[in-house]
Each structure stands twice: as structure tokens, then as C-alpha cells.
Amino acid sequence: MIIPRAITVGPMRFDIKHVQALDRPPAYGRIDFHTGTIKIASHSIFEVRYSANDRRRAFWHETIHACLVDMGQPLHTHDEEFVEALAERLTQVCTTAEV
């Protein structure tokens, strides 16, 4: 699966930016609803390179947050364990799909 350059969820467009690392707090990915940006880190703050699968999972994780907000659920109410579990499964679906 190739991570796209941009996505649209409901009325909102998100540009996908690949960054070196995300800190404060450390993360694989981060969504910013004010700028319409999803950032995906390639490395940890300790300069450990994330795998392609880690980056795909981070993309899905942040996309799920975008979908839930679009569906009326405030960001601070999202269950991170649920979001991460769903992101793992979507990553699996995309990486194992047979065409």
C-alpha cells in the first residue's frame, strides 16, 4: 500500500506530510484539524527508523481519527486502543489484499 499525498474525509481535505520524527509527545503520526495535515514520522525521536508497516498503520490511525471526528465524535473522546486495533486491521487488509 502506498500512503497517498492527500485524502478527503467528509468536507475536510488532509495533506499527508512525511516528517523525520514527531515529539511532544513522541508519535508515529499526528493529525492537525486546523491545518488539514496528517504527519507521518519516518523515525522515532531516538533516530530508530520506523518500518513501512509502522508508517502505514500510523496513516490509518490518523485517518480513523479524521473519520470519527467527521461522524461527530470529538477527538478527545476517541478510544486510542480501539483506534489502534482498527488501524492494525486496516493495514493488514491493505497489505494482504489480492487483486
Question: For residue 27, what pLDDT band results from cuts at 50, 70 and 90?
Answer: very high
Question: For residue 74, what pLDDT band results from cuts at 50, 70 and 90?
Answer: very high
Average pLDDT (70-88) is 97
* Domain residue limits, the chain: 6-96
Q: pTM of the full predicted structure?
A: 0.95
Cell numbers standing for residue 62:
490518523
- In angstroms, the CA 5 to CA 38 distance is 10
3 state SS of 29: strand
32-59 burial by CB neighbour count: b if 16+ within 10 A, else e? eeeeebbbbbeebeeeeebeeebbbbbb
Level-2 CATH architecture, domain 6-96: Orthogonal Bundle (1.10)
